[in-house]
Chains A and B, each alone.
Chain A
Amino acid sequence: MPLLNVQNLQSFFQTDAEPCRVVDGVSFTLDAGETLGLVGESGSGKSLTALSIMQLLPKPGYHAGGELMFGNQDLLSLDSAGRRSIRGRNIAMIFQEPMTSLNPVLTVRTQLTEAIRRNTPDGKISRDEQLRQAVEALRMAEIPAPEQRVNEYPHQLSGGMRQRVMIAMALACRPKMLIADEPTTALDVTVQAKILDLLRDLQKRLGTAILFITHDLAVIAQVADRVAVMYAGKIVETAPVDEIFKNPAHPYTERLLECRPRRELRGKTLETITGIVPSPMDYAPGCRFCDRCPHVFEPCHDIQPEQIEIAPGHQVTCHLHKKGRAALAVVQTNSHEEIPDAEAADQDLVLDARQVSKHFAIRKGLFKRVVGRVKAVDDVDLRIRRGTTVALVGESGCGKTTLGRTLTRLYSPTAGQVLFQGRDIMRLNESEMQGVRRGMQMLFQDPYSSLNPRMTVRQIVEEGLRAQAIGNTPAERNERLVGILQHVGLKAGDLDAYPHEFSGGQRQRIGIARALAVEPDFLILDEPTSALDMSIQAQILNLLRAIQGQGRQRLTYLFITHDLGVVEYVADEVAVMYLGRIVERNKTVELFDNPRHPYTRALLSSIPKAGPGSDRVTLEGDVPSPLNPPSGCHFHPRCACAMPICKELYPAETSIGDDAIVRCHLESTTPPVARDIENTGP
């Protein structure tokens, strides 16, 4: 008998009109000690499925049908006291945002012991015993010095530590089942690797069943035994994890796997899923994927497909499989197209940044005395050749966004020179800068906050034309606008609509149109796809690659991201940043094949791979605060090969090839130069 049996679960949201069917007939089972990965794009209803199981659906959500059996207990028939006795004691949950999920005004101890006390059967447990169990739980979550940590407040802990506290809290009472809702999405990739390891170890030791929710297929591959793929409120495919990756049966699963950017696809377009996820307000009567499905045929539009078992433990909800498996193979296509090669790029530098620093002063007290400096960007050299794509990678807080904004002079640098097409833009006055701005544009991460909700698409795209005085007459400008919109895959009819009428991917296209309108030579792409779903990401990456080669001159990209998969697919060169400095810079292929800096090595091995786990270099601890970076090489406290000199000196640049450098004492051949000694102050 399964531990959890969910049958045809429906959770709707009350609205004025039709109910919003966010979870609409979800069925799955979870056995004791098993990990089920629930994967799907945003809006597919996976988090709400989890909250439904916990019966913590936010208002105006309500349970609209189906069965929830935990063992032989019907969860839906419980009163509020009964529900509380299930929560925590039998089913525990950890959430996505470790920063907000812990109460900021209570100590770790209070928050842990209240869970322990609550879940001790008769509630009688001495304070000493509570504390002992709390410390034990923290130790189990591999938190260093748990005796001290237990008395701290959440704000004193880093993001990774907080997620460990959450895990400790959830597992302190040895629940039979744990729901992990995107537990690593908000964390850096090196921290994510550690947390995933921890969860796996704990599961082995405690035998907890885990329902692991994520949008990231690669993470699923690492943790799950079985995978359930969710789409538009329904589960479309359930299979053992290897089966999903080897033989995806549902067209959606297949496409989702196909559209991941990978190294093998360099120079080719990505597979995409056309269109967008339908709104839960108006689902079609038939299969919900039919509008986007390449294999769509007769019954898909009108008849809801039924679940079919095509192999032991492999169920799929698709009409194609009524006729047997062969059907999918016949219609399977591979439409990766070759993109014209970028290697023809010339040696002409578009951007040449020399020793750029951006420090933010920390001020304190009445006279705003400077008590410290956050060295967000510290002594960075960056050269970008015309027509190339340079990726800037690093974990959150490493200063990559600040660097991007400093290069465009949105932030004024503390020191250094930025030569843009040969001119030092830091010396220009406002009106000279005005002209230069036309040449360099930015594309932002968040498709929601990057468009002013009070402006129409026309006003948004026209803003640059007006500011740069391009196009004299309204008719001329209008003509340009229509051209640009078509260029990025929007219709001329969209000009007078407001941003809220568009989906995330379309909004990102509007953002691209705004940047392209002034015909820049150089685009800084600041995490342009990280807020988008996998299928939309592929569309946007294809578009970016297409427009790069279409103008009179090839566009130059600085691609800021933390997603190494995208980098491997899209970049010509990579610069790796750690705590405000570039630690390694090389051609993409060389960097990925032969990472020289220990940090780069660790970063690359932390990428969850969609396949059996390999030997990994995991990193201890979290990224330190840039306010107080470690002495010497900033990386030495986390570095496996740290030497005594690493504590003393920041390593100098060592050339490791044509325009490739690394800053590490292991690679260093020359004695340290004076500049570096100066920069290693406490």
Chain B
Amino acid sequence: MGAYLIRRILYMIPIVLGVVMLTFALFFIVNSPADMARASLGQKATPESIARWVSAHDYDHPTWFNTQSKGLAKLTDTLLWKKCARLLIFDLGRSDSTEREIAAEIRHRMLPSLTMAVPTFVLGMLVNITLALIFALCRGTYFDRVGAVVCVLMMSISSLFYIIAGQFIFAGWLRLFPISGFDWGPGMLKYVFLPVIIGLISGIGAGIRYNRTLMLEEINTDYVRTARAKGLGEGRILFLHVLKNAMIPILTGAMTVIPTLFMGSLIMESFFAIPGMGSMTMNAIVAQDFAVIRSMTFIGSILFMIGLLLTDISYTLVDPRITLGNAESEREAVRPSIRDIGKFFLLFLVITVAGCGLVLGARALTAMETRFPIMDNLLLALTLLGLFVFFVRARRHEMWRNAWRQIRGKRLAMVALCVLSLFAVIAVLDSARWCDVRKVSVTLEDGTPGTNTIFSEPLSALDRILAPIARNTERTYSAPLSDRLYTKVNVPKVVNGKTIFVREHEPLVHPRSHLLGTDKMGKDVLYITLKSVRTALVVGGLTTLIAIPFAILFGCLAGFFGGWIDDVIQYVYSTLSSIPWILLVACLMMVFGTGLMQVCIAMGITGWVGLCRTLRGETLKIREREYVQAALSLGTSKFEIIRTHIVPNVMHLVLISVVLRFSRLVLAEAVLSYIGVGVGAGTYSWGMMINMARSELGKDPKVWWTLASSFAAMLMLVLSANLFGDALRDALDPRLRVRGGQN
């Protein structure tokens, strides 16, 4: 046991080093202290104030090596030492924004986070497992089928919704609990109760579904059949035979939650004003406090490792086959030849260059995008072409045809597909953009009359269709289908020849034309909601496009070759996945800045890890299949084997993952935009709508329709993606497990 712990801790060292180096590279090499100063000081930054900020926060050192110092100080008077290496001895330094000692602050904030997170975790496990057992017990009944749909519904709802609605109903309306705050004494119970309940409910859908899948898998095993043949009752079979076996994967899912236990839930804590580590992180993101973020990333990854360690130890409690520090038999590694490595390197280069080219091209084209938005249309055309090629190829294959037949038989899945297509059509309409050209007669410099060509702002097809409602703006809020403004405004009135201002509900310019009301600026909410569709689909689609090639390439390489290639790839993804997801994305977004493209890239870079792991595992299995052995003995090159034997046989996993990941990305975008590291102002998105509408709920009377319509639209999209994804998974690979969700 002791030796095992030491080995595991030794194993953590390279990963923690990797995490620290990653944040260092992001903040000090990609970014510079001056960039941080600018981010922190905002618009009013001058070169002097930047220099002052940098030296005040102890960033005025060379990055790697200080030639001006003497002796050892050459190494220690550097950013590398002061801001990176010192993390490793838990010297977290001071916050950039509040100047407080970070370590002390974390110690102080640990307790509130734990009082909220531990009950949520423990109760959540109990409730999820119990309900999953009940569902497994009455599997196949009406109750179970309805339950399954309810679970999908619950996991399709944004966590923001649970929080806002919970707070509104229980605290605002029923006044059962205080809205927010914290008490250090025994009074904390009343503050913690509501967040715990909400946390429980928001995790319940995914939790039950995950556990239920695991249990159903156990129910179909041979030893359960043996138990039945012995004449055992269903209760004993479930509680002893099934539950004990299912606990192994359930524990895997549960222990990875450990970091969030300590770090608290970012959003939950900030909503309920609980002074925990989550709200500390949240504040740091808002204040662009890089020091705190760096420390949090470091601590998060260490907590993740501890979670893994606890998982391993808890395995030994339920699974007698596992002893700590299991010996493993060597696999026969396939040795790649120089030519193979060259080919893969080339492929990798092509992908990266193409990716970078796309991004750079996008930036360059956005700059000159005034006349014709090439980028949008190009992306659109490429996506449509890709889909077309896929469908043409898939039509020829029995597996896809068979899957399609199965999906076509399911009513719910077909409805979901229709809804998805509707959203896709909206997004396509919104992506095809062009400018209007107008010729105006002008007088040229020499006085002669001539014409000048004027290009309008590029407008999408959707803009043109929705032009009537887009143009119909009001002064400010108005309720759906109302004929007056929702709030009182100063209206000029001519009384006795004098103009005076009276506060009243002014009649609308376009009465009863706003189906979903208008927002603060008087814009039509339906228009904003529809415009946000494209953002959601781009986030879901483009992110996937970025992540998938890497996942396939690395996953197949690691699984096929094994050996050092596998070690390197595993190290990279262990490092990336040891950082809590939301922190990693937040780090990237703080460096990249906000924007649609940036969100896609940040989530794409972090998003290939999970799929890569799945594909590696699958490739390991396929590699041992006899057709691969046959290909090897025929002398087919390894590159060719991966191309023709491995990749086509993992494509169904890729497709399932794309659809199920899509829904998570849409939800994640809302959360990111909400905490201010998303698409940024100026881009329509449901996250931004929620962000802007958040203050409106506090007002009296409450402006509810912006929130409601964004949540409803998001739910429609995510729910149909989830339902369709489920049907697709059942059709293509009924045995694939759904792992617990991100964040």
Give the interface of A toward B (CB within 8 A).
16, 54, 56, 58-59, 80, 84-89, 92-93, 95, 97, 100-107, 110, 114-115, 118-119, 153, 155, 166, 169-170, 360-366, 371-372, 374, 405, 408, 410-412, 430, 433-434, 437-438, 440-442, 444-446, 449-455, 459-460, 463-464, 466-468, 498, 500, 511, 514-515, 518
Contact = CB atoms under 8 A, between A and B. Distances in A.
A463 B641 CA distance: 10
12 contacts: A87-B228, A95-B229, A97-B222, A103-B244, A104-B245, A105-B319, A114-B240, A169-B230, A366-B7, A453-B649, A455-B644, A467-B634
Interface of B: 7, 10-11, 140, 220-234, 236, 240-241, 244-245, 248, 318-321, 325-330, 332, 335, 337, 397-399, 409, 625-627, 629-637, 640, 644-645, 648-649
Contact of B325 (A103, A365, A445, A467): A365
A106 B244 contact: yes
A437 B629 contact: no
A61 to B, nearest CB: 13
Contacts of B335: 412
A104 B648 contact: no
A114 B232 contact: yes
Given A56-B225, A166-B226, A437-B635, A118 B232 contact: yes
Contacts of B329: 360-363, 374
Nearest to B234: A80
B229 A92 contact: yes
A372 B224 CA distance: 35
Most buried by B among A445, A450, A452, A515: A452
Given A101-B222, A104-B245, A438 B229 contact: no
Nearest to B3: A365
Best-surrounded residue of A80, A87, A107 (most CB of chain B within 10 A): A87
A511 B633 CA distance: 13
A107 B329 CA distance: 26
B633 A408 contact: yes
A362 B328 contact: yes
B231 A511 contact: no
Contact of A452 (B231, B327, B649): B649
A408 B330 CA distance: 20
Nearest to A441: B633
Contacts of A467: 631, 634-637, 640
Contacts of A454: 397, 399, 648-649
Given A105-B245, A452-B648, 11 more contacts: A101-B223, A169-B226, A363-B329, A363-B330, A374-B329, A437-B633, A445-B626, A450-B627, A452-B649, A455-B644, A511-B630
B629 A444 contact: yes
A467 B409 CA distance: 42
A371 B328 CA distance: 10
Given A101-B223, A442-B629, A454-B648, A119 B231 contact: yes
Contact of A498 (B224, B248, B398): B398
3 closest pairs, A vs B, by CB? A88-B231, A450-B626, A87-B231
Contacts of B399: 453-454
B197 to A, nearest CB: 34
B474 to A, nearest CB: 55
B159 to A, nearest CB: 34
Contacts of B397: 454, 498
A521 to B, nearest CB: 14
Nearest to A372: B327
B633 A88 contact: no
A372 B326 CA distance: 13
A100 B222 contact: yes
Contacts of B398: 498, 500
- Interface core residue of B222, B225, B398, B626 (most chain A CB under 10 Å): B626
Nearest to B640: A467
A106 B243 CA distance: 12
Contacts of B319: 104-105
A118 B630 contact: no
B644 to A, nearest CB: 7
Nearest to A107: B320
Residue among B226, B234, B240, B399 facing the most chain A CB atoms (10 A cut-off):
B226
A87 B634 contact: no
Nearest to A361: B330
Contacts of A92: 229-230
B630 A56 contact: no
B644 A405 contact: no
Contacts of A59: 140
Contacts of A106: 240-241, 244
B638 to A, nearest CB: 10
Given A97-B222, A100-B222, A452 B645 contact: yes
Given A362-B327, A450-B627, A102 B635 contact: no
A33 to B, nearest CB: 21
Contact of B634 (A80, A119, A366, A464): A464
Choose among A107, A115, A441 the residue with the greatest number of B CB atoms under 10 Å from its CB.
Answer: A115
B316 to A, nearest CB: 11
A371 B327 contact: yes
B711 to A, nearest CB: 38
Contacts of B626: 444-446, 449-450
B644 A115 contact: no
Given A16-B409, A105-B319, A444-B630, A89 B231 contact: yes
B243 to A, nearest CB: 10
Given A84-B233, A362-B328, A453-B399, A437 B634 contact: yes
A321 to B, nearest CB: 37
Contact of B636 (A119, A405, A463): A463
Contact of B631 (A80, A103, A463): A463
A87 B241 contact: no
A151 to B, nearest CB: 11
A101 to B, nearest CB: 5
A106 B398 CA distance: 42
Contacts of A58: 220
Contacts of B320: 104-105, 107, 153, 155
Nearest to A112: B230
A411 B332 contact: yes
A445 B630 CA distance: 12
B634 A364 contact: no
Nearest to B226: A101
Contacts of A155: 320-321
A584 to B, nearest CB: 28
Contacts of B229: 54, 56, 87-88, 92-93, 95, 170
Nearest to A365: B7
A86 B245 CA distance: 27
Nearest to A175: B231
B231 A95 contact: no
Nearest to B247: A105
A127 B119 CA distance: 38
Nearest to A434: B635
B11 A366 contact: yes
A450 B337 CA distance: 25
A153 B325 CA distance: 19
A56 B328 contact: no
A679 to B, nearest CB: 21
A464 B644 CA distance: 13
Nearest to A110: B240
Given A463-B636, A464-B634, A100 B221 contact: yes
Nearest to B7: A366
Nearest to B648: A454
A539 B318 CA distance: 49
Contacts of B409: 16
A54 B229 CA distance: 7
Contacts of B232: 84, 88, 114-115, 118
A102 B226 contact: yes
A110 B230 CA distance: 13
A114 B224 CA distance: 13
* Chain A CB within 10 A, most for which of B140, B337, B629: B629
A339 to B, nearest CB: 27
